[in-house]
Amino acid sequence: MHFGHSLKKGESKRDFDLDFTAWKLSESDLDFLVESASPHVTDKPRLKRVLREDEDFRNSFVTDERVFLRVMDDEEILLKISSTLFFEILLTRAVVELAQVGFTLEKTSSMRVPVFDAKAVVDLLTNRGLTHYLAHMLSSFTKSESYTISFRVSKGMWRKVRFSDMDIESLLGFCEAVDEKHRFGLYKRIADICLFVLGIFPNYAERHYRYPQSGELRSTIGEQKRISPEEYEREGQKFYRLAAEHPSAGELNLSEVFWALHEHFLKAKKPLNFISEHYLPFKKQKLFGY
């Protein structure tokens, strides 16, 4: 079976080929930050230019409490700023609050246990590249996309298969079918799904795998495999490593980010857990449609 070299989907190639313009502040993002943190400034064009060019200055605005409060109070905030900035603001705020609390919570079968690893989590997110990546990653899950891939059944005969970018089983299958040079986007997406599920919807991973009351494993649905939380963790670490080792990661200056996510996968999910529980408890189903 021979697969075509290109993945296609209905609208854009956002999820398989990183769009680095999404990491930049748009005009509406800049206007929002300025209006929220420095509403009385007279030279707004100059201030916006500095925000674009100075990472530390930008961070001081993104972490400003007035910015965070406005984001949380506005039900239509995603009509006014990019989803990437939205999640960057939540991530940076989570870091501030975790540093103050000093611990994170881990759920066992019967209780939630405090773990005093908040400093390690905060230290991990001092890497601004990692924070930007996580914000971009979360943004990519606000809209599920479908792809079409072509493969040759026999000489002169091709078939097209459609799949969702949330279908981890299909992505794993395509990894085995396409050439290594075309696997980078697949590696990245599989790892991102694992981190996203364990970070934003940790209860889903457990409840989808076993019954809450009895703890017994759920039966499979057709050929669909049920994935345990432990498998999400192992696959996430594995595929971030594969993404880090891929030549495309070096070309995109993402090797360091992927190695950090591979080595500190469990720490990386902690700020996502915090965001899910404290900032998005009643919004995440609508936000992610998951």
Domain boundaries, the chain: 2-25+82-288
Strands 2-9 and 146-154: antiparallel
Whole-number pLDDT of residue 14? 38
At 212 the pLDDT is 62
Cα–chain-centroid distance for residue 243? 15
Q: What is the pLDDT of residue 150?
A: 63
- The per-residue pLDDT for 113 is 87
Planar angle of CA 215, 221, 227, nearest 5 degrees: 55
The Cα 11–Cα 38 span in angstroms is 37
pTM score: 0.84
Half-sphere exposure of 88 (CA within 13 A, CB side): 28
pLDDT at residue 112 in the model: 83
Q: What is the pLDDT of residue 66?
A: 97
- Give the DSSP H or E segment for 8: strand 2-9
Looking at residue 228, its pLDDT comes to 85
What pLDDT does 94 receive? 96
Q: Which long-range contacts (CB under 8 A, 24 or more apart) does 125-129 make?
A: 125/91, 125/92, 125/95, 125/271, 127/256, 127/257, 127/260, 128/55, 128/59, 129/253, 129/256, 129/257
Structure-token match 């773990």, residue found: 115
- The whole-number pLDDT of residue 123 equals 95
Name residue 184's amino acid: F
| pLDDT score at 110 | 67
Predicted pLDDT of residue 119? 94
In sequence order, which residues have a C-beta less than 8 Å from that of residue 1 and are 6 or more positions away?
151, 152, 153, 177
Structure tokens at 252: 């995109």
pLDDT of 234 reads 95
How far is 171 from 190, CA to CA, in rounded Å?
A: 7
Regions of the chain with pLDDT less than 70:
1-23, 108-110, 145-154, 157-164, 206-225, 290
Helix or strand run (H / E) with residue 4: strand 2-9
Res 13: pLDDT? 38
The alpha helices in 212-283, defined as continuous H runs, are: 229-245, 247-251, 255-263, 265-278
Written as one string, the DSSP assignment of 60-121 is HHHT-HHHHHHHHH-TTGGGTS-HHHHHHHHHHHHHHHHHHH--EEEE-SS-EEEES-HHHH
CA nearest neighbour of 142 among 195, 206, 83: 83
